[in-house]
Structure 1
Amino acid sequence: MAEVKDNPEGSQYEIYVDGSRIGLMTYRISGDTVTTPHTEINPAYGGQGLGRQLVKGALDHIRDTGMFVRPSCPFVRAYIEQHAEYQDLVKQG
């Protein structure tokens, strides 16, 4: 089972499988907005939907904190476009 954790010291969300970090999504915070420039999953774990789980977990956490997201990573942007329930998190302007 995969687990998504926020690592504020590293400015990234991380996804773990069996206790090992296998992916991350970097972020920068400015005011009430979280910019997400990069997402990566260890290629050995590719094709298992772990990138989607990572983005979903990160977006759920961002929502819980009352912040907005600026998805500069194409993978995060595509995920939000495909999941209407997260489109209200996108910072306009």
Structure 2
Amino acid sequence: MITVTDHAEASRFEAHDGETLAGFADYLRTGELMAFTHTEVRSAYEGQGVGSLLARAGVEAAEAEGVKVLAICPFISGWLARHPDLAHLEYRAHSTVVD
């Protein structure tokens, strides 16, 4: 069974299969957002939903903390695109600066 935990000291969510690290999702945190920068799943666990477990855990943690999600990582961005019910959590710049 895969378990996902927030390894805050390393700024990443980790997926473990027992003692084995199956994958991770790196993030940066600010007062208003959680920016996901990189997601990696070990080849032995690809195609088994580990990346989705990491994405869901990260997005749910952001929601629980009341911060937005900035998906720099293409995997997290794609995962969010497939879950429009979570679109309200996506960070959107509110700048009015124009060229």
Q: TM-score, normalised by structure 1?
A: 0.94
Question: Which runs of 4 or more aligned residues in structure 1 lie more than 2 Å from their structure 2 counterparts after TM superposition?
Answer: none
Q: Does 1:48 align with 2:48?
A: yes
CA distance in 2, matches of 1:43, 1:55: 17
Cα offset for 1:28? Answer: 0.5
Q: Work out the CA distance in 1 between the residues paired with 2:86 and 2:6.
A: 18
**1: CA distance between counterparts of 2:30 and 2:64?**
17
Query: Cα offset for 1:4?
Result: 0.9
2:24 and 2:54 map into 1 onto residues whose CA distance is 7
Q: Which amino acid aligns with 1:71?
A: A
Q: How does 1:1-93 map to 2 (within 5 A)?
A: 1-93=1-93
Q: Residue deviations 1:45-70, cap 9 Å, x none?
A: 11111111111111111111111110
State, as a whole percentage, how many aligned pairs show the same letter.
28
Q: Which runs of 5+ in 1 are unaligned?
A: none
Q: Distance in 2 between matches of 1:19 and 1:68?
A: 31
Relative to the length of structure 2, the TM-score reads 0.88
RMSD of aligned residue pairs (Cα, Å): 1.0
What is the CA–CA distance in structure 1 between the aligned matches of 2:2 and 2:62, rounded to whole Å?
18
Give the paired residue count: 93
Larger Rg: 2
Structure 2 residues without counterparts, runs of 5 or longer = 94-99
Deviation at 1:19, TM superposition (A): 3.0
